[in-house]
Amino acid sequence: MVTTKETVLLIGPEGQMTRLEGQRGATPECPSAKFKKGDVVRVRRLKHLRHLPDIAAIAVVIPPNFSPDWAMADLRGAPRPLMAQVGSNAITYIVGFDGNPTPYLIKERYLLPSDEAPVEIKIEGAP
């Protein structure tokens, strides 16, 4: 078996190869979410979140029990990973911070509304 990030090649006993690739899709809507894509939010000042900046932008709204790995792949337009983490039982968000290319996964209860206007989210490598 040979693996890449989104693809698995199974090599049989007689040399036949089968390629397995994750499905492509769209993250389901979450009408009960407080925030939507592009909203600018404040991060609560809790001990375990102090290392993060105060202001973030929502990149993806992840409904309960949906894998954040799948949501990130959907955002990039890539195949969903074959092995993915289990989704939280709460609404979560993938957020980004100005000048920081690393996405962060944060639960809704740790975010507060801000008075700033929504922003446009651009993802490198996305179609």
The predicted-structure confidence for 79-112, as pLDDT tens digits, reads as follows: 888 888 999 999 999 999 988 889 999 999 999 9
Q: Where residue 34 sits, what CATH number does that domain have?
A: 2.30.30
Please check whether residue 29 lies inside any domain of the structure. yes
Please check whether residue 20 lies inside any domain of the structure. no
The domain in which residue 82 lies consists of 25-113
Please check whether residue 122 lies inside any domain of the structure. no
Whether pLDDT at 54 is above 60: yes
Output the CA torsion 65→98→37→107 (10° steps). Answer: 30
Q: Give the pLDDT of residue 29.
A: 94
Q: How many domains does the chain have?
A: 1
Look up residue 72 and give its DSSP letter: H
| Residue 37 φ then ψ, to 5° | -55, 130
Rounded-to-integer distance, Cα 119 and Cα 40, Å: 7
* Cβ-contact 121, 47 below 8 angstroms: no
Please check whether residue 121 lies inside any domain of the structure. no
The pTM score is: 0.82
